[in-house]
């Protein structure tokens, strides 16, 4: 996951190779990588893996929806909308509802 975050940031710095990130997302990725490194080198492997497994469940739907959007095919508009709505629902569950229960 860290490699994916670094790849997105490098692509953005190189002028928009792949999906470009806004400043907020670059800052978010820097903090996320720092937390990943802290968990790895701080002996929190199990907790870090559990957190990544729970929190990143929604990423598949987000990147699928982004890819469908980037394809620009009008006939895939319904699939794209469904992917974004699924992302929003899964994101709410795994990033808003579950963390307080897991902590």
pTM over 0.85, yes/no: no
Per-residue pLDDT of the chain (103 residues; tens, 9 = 90+): 778 788 888 888 888 777 778 889 888 888 888 888 888 888 887 777 777 888 888 888 988 998 898 888 999 999 999 999 999 999 999 888 988 887 6
Q: What is the pLDDT of residue 90?
A: 94
Contact 35, 21 (CB under 8 A): no
Instruction: Choose among 47, 54, 62, 60: nearest CA to 93.
Output: 54
CA atoms within 13 A on the CB side of 75: 0
Cα separation, 25 vs 40, whole angstroms: 22
């Amino acid at each position: 996951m860290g490699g994916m975050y670094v790849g997105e940031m490098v692509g953005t710095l190189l002028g928009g190779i792949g999906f470009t990130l806004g400043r907020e997302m670059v800052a978010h990725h820097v903090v996320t990588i720092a937390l990943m490194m802290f968990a790895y080198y701080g002996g929190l492997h199990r907790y870090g893996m559990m957190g990544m497994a729970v929190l990143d469940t929604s990423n598949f739907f987000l990147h699928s929806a982004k890819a469908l959007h980037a394809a620009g095919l009008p006939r895939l508009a319904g699939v794209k909308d469904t992917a974004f709505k699924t992302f929003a629902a899964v994101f709410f569950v795994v990033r808003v509802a579950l963390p307080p229960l897991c902590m």
